[in-house]
Amino acid sequence: MNETENTLRETIAGAIKDHDVLLFMKGTPEQPQCGFSARTVAALESLGAPFAAIDVLPDPRIRQELSALSNWPTVPQLFVGGELVGGCDIVTEMFESGELAHALGLDAAAEAPGDAPGGEFEQGAPPIQIENRLA
Amino acid sequence: MPTALELEQRIEAAIPGARAEVQTADEVHFSARVVAAEFAGLSRIQQHRLVYGVFEDGELGSAIHALSLKTETP
């Protein structure tokens, strides 16, 4: 473990702490580079949930440090309130059962009149980039 | 290449009382439904970790490219 890896892990931990809803994914919400990431983004967007996203592809160490931190082997990984909720399977299952909306605190919004499904969803927070201090 | 049956047997052997149904189209990508009393009281994350943990070591694990999971209690 050298200092740069420590710094990267701290940066990831800080991002998880600083964002209520944070998705680590392959690619961006606009252009996912993997079917599992795309499905996870689709679940969040269909609920109109604002979320921040981090692309793990630019540097393999992001994924490595993330998995070391979360004890979860695969990407995507969704964090809500600083806690790992799951990857694509769990997020999809929770979306279908309504648990995801509940976990995101969106129950009331989902039932509000005039909130037509399929309407324009609120644009999430812009994807953040992990500052690359390793170059 | 691992078969769906091998995965089922491995899961059922590793998690006492578990029942696993595994499907695969290409013997590289798998999807599994696992029902186990041991999952009671665990979060989904913890349930999935338990199943992933079965394949952490050994040849079978490295031959599996992806394992999609659905976990339930009986």
* Residues above pLDDT 90, as percent of chain B: 69
pLDDT on residue A6: 77
Compare all CA atoms of chain B with the CA of A85 and give the residue at the minimum distance.
Answer: B45
Using CA atoms, how far apart are residues A36 and A30, in angstroms rounded to an integer? 14
Q: What is the CATH number of domain B4-72?
A: 3.30.300.90
Residue B17 Cα, gap to closest chain A Cα (Å): 23
A79-103 average pLDDT score: 95
Contacts of residue A74, defined as CB under 8 A and 6 or more positions apart, other chains included, come to A36, A67, A87
pLDDT on residue A129: 64
Q: Running DSSP on this structure, what letter comes out for residue A116?
A: -
Query: B44, A90: Cβ pair inside 8 Å?
Result: yes
pLDDT on residue A121: 42
For A3-38, the pLDDT digits (tens) are: 676 799 999 999 999 999 999 999 999 999 999 999
Q: Which helix (H) or strand (E) holds A55?
A: strand A52-55
For A33-74, the pLDDT digits (tens) are: 999 999 999 999 999 999 999 999 999 999 999 999 999 988
pLDDT greater than 90 at residue A79: yes
Using CA atoms, how far apart are residues A56 and A69, in angstroms rounded to an integer? 14
Q: How confident is the model at residue B62 (pLDDT cuts 50, 70, 90)?
A: confident
Q: Running DSSP on this structure, what letter comes out for residue A113?
A: T
List the domain boundaries for chain B.
Answer: 4-72
Fold of domain A3-111: Glutaredoxin (3.40.30)
pLDDT on residue A107: 78
At residue B38, the 3 state secondary structure works out as helix
Q: Please report residues of A whose CB lies closer than 8 A to that of B45.
A: 72, 84-86, 90
List the domain boundaries for chain A.
Answer: 3-111
Amino acid at A39: R
Candidates B33, B45, B62: best to mutate against A (most CBs of A within 10 A) is: B45
pLDDT greater than 80 at residue B31: yes
Q: Running DSSP on this structure, what letter comes out for residue B59?
A: H
Tokens read off for B5: 């049956």
Using CA atoms, how far apart are residues A28 and B43, in angstroms rounded to an integer? 28
Using CA atoms, how far apart are residues B70 and B51, in angstroms rounded to an integer? 10
Using CA atoms, how far apart are residues A91 and A67, in angstroms rounded to an integer? 17
For A99-132, the pLDDT digits (tens) are: 999 999 987 654 444 444 443 444 444 445 654 4
Q: How far is CA A121 from CA A44, A45, A110, in A?
A: 10, 7, 12
Chain B contact for A84, CB < 8 A? yes
Q: Please report residues of A whose CB lies closer than 8 A to that of B44.
A: 86, 90, 93-94
Q: How confident is the model at residue B59 (pLDDT cuts 50, 70, 90)?
A: confident
Q: Which pTM was predicted?
A: 0.79
In residues, how long is chain A? 135
Candidates A40, A67, A90: best to mutate against B (most CBs of B within 10 A) is: A90
Q: What is the ipTM of this complex?
A: 0.79
B24-38 average pLDDT score: 93
B29-35, strands of its sheet edge to edge: B19-24, B29-35, B66-72
